[in-house]
Chains A and B, each alone.
Chain A
Amino acid sequence: MAKMIKKDKVRELLDKLANEKFDIFAPIGEDGITLYRKLGAETPLLNFQNSSKPPKEIFFPQTEKMFDITVENHRLVGATEPPMASNPILLFGARPCDMRAMKVLDALFTWDYTDPYYVNKRERSTVISFACTLPDMPRESCFCTSVGGATDSREGADMLWTDIGSEFVVESLTDKGGKILELGGNLFTEATPDMQAKAKQVSQEATEAISRKLDTEGVKEALEATFDNAYWDEFSARCLGCGICTLLCPTCHCFDINDLVVEGKASRERTWDSCQFTYYTIHASNHNPRPVKKHRQRNRIYHKFLYSEKNLGLLGCVGCGRCIYGCPVNIDIIEVVEGAKEVLK
């Protein structure tokens, strides 16, 4: 049974959940962009364009300490892991594409080795997805419907909320979602059939507003056949070699592990890395197997549309459009992939 909650009751619900020791992460407006930040007493954004940085950082922070290192007389004598937290995490207001992306990260971080830092945070988390609705979503670069997604995709979410004006239609999808309903108590009421119909309608309208399309048919074959094609030189000529497309991608997951000493205290931490950076692949011998921009751009496309599916059984792109929107020189992943198919014809 679908429920509903009035928009002016949302802060009250969040207060209740905060009392239950939930760490709440929610979209906040900061200098004109949307970011997921740990929520204090402020009211989160309920209508927003998708965040600049994907919410994956809640579970897989850009920089994360792995352990402290004890040094005595310039010798490494021990390591102390920070205690794992146990309080629940609530990700409030995630966009459906970003939660589909978490499935890629889930598969990766439990693939051949279970990553304790990531898994711990994921297990503690409850996710409330917001269906994309006009006018804020979709953005002009959105193409989730081409890569298996939907504006009201329920994948990876515990609840789906759909904005129908002055209230949200609330659908609980898992036991964790049921728990939120329980804690919210009378803040949630029955959604009328009219409301449920309206929720369907606004999702449909948002889906129809998605103008970008990518035909994934034949993409893998095209990529397998064009690895050495001059095509990859062409489009990468204008690439700046910055890390925007990868650092803002909800499925990108490369990281680099470093030891550092700050004010006499040593620790080991991991930080997101980007395959677009020159030294990403550099070997100890100083040999770099991907020395120029074309190799690095090609790797990004191949990883999303070929390697990810081979390794994890999941497409590495969820169509959030951040790499298109953020690219300073308009390298457009749809155009690039469609172009690779053209080469083969």
Chain B
Amino acid sequence: MIDFKALEAEIKATAKKWLESGEVKFVIGYEKSPESPIARPFFAHTPEDTEKLYWGPDCINNLTLYLVEEMKKKPKKGQPPFTHAVGIVVKPCDSRTIVELMKEHMVPRERVKIIGVISEESINPDKLYLALKNVPASQRRNIRFHDAGENFRITYQGGELSVPKKELEADKCKVCVVHKAVIADVFVGTGEIEFKPDDFSDIKELEEMSEEERWKYWEQQMSRCVRCYACRDACPLCYCEECVFDREKPYRWVEKSVQVRENSFYHLVRAMHLAGRCIDCGECQRVCPMEIPIRQLNRFLIKKAKDRFKVFSGMNAEEKPMFGTYDLDDPGEEIK
């Protein structure tokens, strides 16, 4: 059983040490918000700030996007390049993003100090809201999770309830392949790397559809898109200086009209740009206010990259990016 409080104390202590010694400029972690049942991103700039750091299965956000944001910052003209390091708390899955970012030279190893938390599954916020449905809104405060074997014991203001872990598990966690960060300076918690084979059974039904059926399915999903671009903005690997979908000059690649034609163009192009890179952190789908199953597109391409190019992203920083390599043994006669 996992003692979330103990993990939290270790995270606080490590972050505090790094900030006191000046090894890092700030630490990116999680804090508990007063009102939301879900933890949120937090930046600890001083040793005192670290008191606010939190850990629990509701630490869902992939924080590495803030790491890229910091690494992209450039000094004023004539000033020397930035060299400061940043501390970050990562779940095992998120650590794979850092590997991918290193492969793409977005994050130099020496500029990041990683607290790798050995964790079990994260929860799905929608499922949590459902579980809390019968708790009066006024009592849904100070929500904390406690590991009770098969269940989470969830305490809230004035009460507690017990919910089976499986009922709250985020979908992405069902196909998790790493239970320990693949890269870290400090590990928090105990456990060993354990790989579960991913059989991609969740997208089997979609793959077996005829082209017409599949298009009909996606047409329905894409018709809901409001083009808030949250899927792009929440994605740590969508880090282009200027996104092609924002670009107005010299011409637009996609019209602003919200209709299936333009919406699907956006989603398909984004998916292609993530092929062989996406580590399936699931943030795109979690943030979508219209419940579009964006992960299915990414999962489809993860499978393709694995089957055709033997590429599985985010495991080894020494590897070259899939799109950056060419091998005579690559499949596809037409492109040789």
* Residue B321 at the chain A interface, CB threshold 8 Å: no
| A137 CB to nearest B CB, Å | 10
Knowing A63-B259, A256-B256, A260-B257, the reply to whether A329 touches B61 (Cβ < 8 A) is yes
Cα-based distance from A241 to B69 in the complex (angstroms): 12
Further pairs besides A33-B291, A211-B136: 17, Cβ < 8 Å: A32-B126, A32-B291, A35-B224, A140-B137, A210-B137, A211-B138, A242-B233, A244-B287, A248-B289, A256-B256, A277-B229, A277-B246, A278-B246, A328-B61, A328-B283, A329-B41, A330-B40
Cβ of A335 under 8 Å from chain B: yes
Query: Interface residues of B: mostly helix, strand, loop or mixed?
Result: loop
Asked whether, in the complex, the Cβ of A242 is within 8 Å of the Cβ of B291, the reply is no
Supposing A242-B287, A244-B289, A329-B40 touch, asked if A212 and B255 sit within 8 A by C-beta, the answer is no
List CB contacts (< 8 Å) of B213-267 with chain A: 221, 224, 226-230, 232-234, 246, 248, 255-259, 261
Please name the residue on chain B nearest to A330 by beta carbon. Answer: B40
Contact of A53 among B42, B255, B286, B290 (CB under 8 A): B290
Across the interface, do A52 and B257 meet the contact criterion of CB distance under 8 Å? Answer: no
- A247-291 interface mask toward B, CB cutoff 8 Å, 1 = contact, 0 = none? 110000000101010100000010111100111001000000000
Tell me whether A240 and B40 are in contact in the complex, defined as CB-CB below 8 angstroms, given that A35-B224, A209-B137, A211-B137 are known contacts.
no
Cα separation A209 to B133 with both chains bound (whole Å)? 12
* Complex interface: chain B residues within 8 A of A328 (CB): 61, 230, 234, 283, 286-287
CB distance from A321 to the nearest CB of B (A): 11
- A335 and B34 form a contact (CB under 8 A): yes
Asked if A243 and B230 make an inter-chain contact with CB atoms under 8 angstroms apart, the answer reads yes
* Beta-carbon nearest neighbor of B225 in chain A: A62
A209 and B66 contacting across the interface, CB-CB below 8 Å: no
Which B residue sits closest to A238, measured CB to CB? B41
A308 to B312, CA, bound (A): 51
A248–B226 contact, CB under 8 A? yes
The contact of B38 among A273, A274, A330, by CB within 8 Å, is: A330
Of all chain A residues, the one with the shortest Cβ separation from B226 is: A247
Q: A238-B66, A328-B286 are in contact. Are A243 and B41 (CB under 8 A)?
A: no
Q: Tell me how many residues of A have a C-beta within 8 Å of chain B.
A: 48
Q: Which residues of B contact A282 (CB under 8 A)?
A: 248
Q: Which residues of B contact A262 (CB under 8 A)?
A: 261
**B33 on the A face (CB < 8 A):** yes
Q: Does B160 contact A (CB under 8 A)?
A: no
The tally of residues in B whose CB lies under 8 Å from a CB in A reads 44
Contacts A33-B291, A35-B224, A242-B234: A332 and B33 contacting too (C-beta < 8 A)?
yes
Q: Cβ of A326 < 8 Å from any Cβ of B?
A: yes
Q: How far is the CA of A226 from the CA of B74 in the complex (A)?
A: 28
Report Cα–Cα, A212/B289, bound state, in Å.
21
Q: Which residues of B contact A242 (CB under 8 A)?
A: 228-230, 232-234, 287
Contact B257 A212 (CB under 8 A): no
Chain A residue numbers with a CB within 8 Å of B38 are 330
- Of all chain B residues, the one with the shortest Cβ separation from A61 is B258
Any A CB within 8 A of the CB of B140: yes
In contact, B35 and A240 (Cβ under 8 angstroms): no
User: What is the predominant secondary structure among interface residues of chain A facing chain B?
Assistant: loop
In contact, B289 and A62 (Cβ under 8 angstroms): no
Say yes or no: A274-B228 contact (C-beta < 8 A), given A33-B290, A238-B43.
yes
* 10 pairs of A and B residues whose beta carbons are closest in the complex: A242-B230, A211-B138, A243-B228, A328-B287, A330-B40, A240-B233, A242-B233, A211-B137, A238-B41, A271-B256
**Interface check A31, CB cutoff 8 A:** yes
B129 / chain A contacts, CB cutoff of 8 Å: 140
Bound: A272/B34 CA distance, A? 32
Query: Which residues of A line the B interface, CB within 8 A?
Result: 30-33, 35, 52-53, 62-63, 135, 138-140, 142, 209-212, 237-238, 240-244, 247-248, 256, 258, 260, 262, 269, 271-274, 277-279, 282, 324, 326, 328-330, 332, 334-335
1/0 contact string of B35-62 vs chain A (CB within 8 Å): 1101011110000000000000000010
In contact, B248 and A140 (Cβ under 8 angstroms): no
- A272 and B258 alpha carbons, distance in the complex (Å): 9
What B residues does A274 contact at CB under 8 A?
228
Contacting residues, chain B, for A212 (C-beta < 8 A): 35, 137
Given A33-B291, A35-B224, A274-B228: A258 in contact with B34 (beta carbons within 8 A): no
Residue among A247, A256, A273, A328 with max Cβ neighbours from chain B (10 Å) = A328
A144 CB to nearest chain B CB (Å)? 13
Of the listed residues A211, A240, A262, A278, the one surrounded by the most CB atoms of chain B closer than 10 A to its CB is: A240
The proximity string for B residues 123-152 relative to A, scoring 1 for CB distances below 8 Å and 0 otherwise, is 000100100011011101000000000000
Residue in B33, B283, B289, B291 with the greatest tally of chain A CB atoms within 10 Å: B289
Which B-chain residue is minimally distant from A259 (CB atoms)?
B255
Query: How many angstroms from the CA of A52 to the CA of B226 in the assembled complex?
Result: 11
A304 to B248, CA, bound (A): 29
Of B61, B129, B136, B233, chain A has the most CB atoms within 10 Å of the CB of B233
A273 to B248, CA, bound (A): 14
A62 and B36 form a contact (CB under 8 A): no
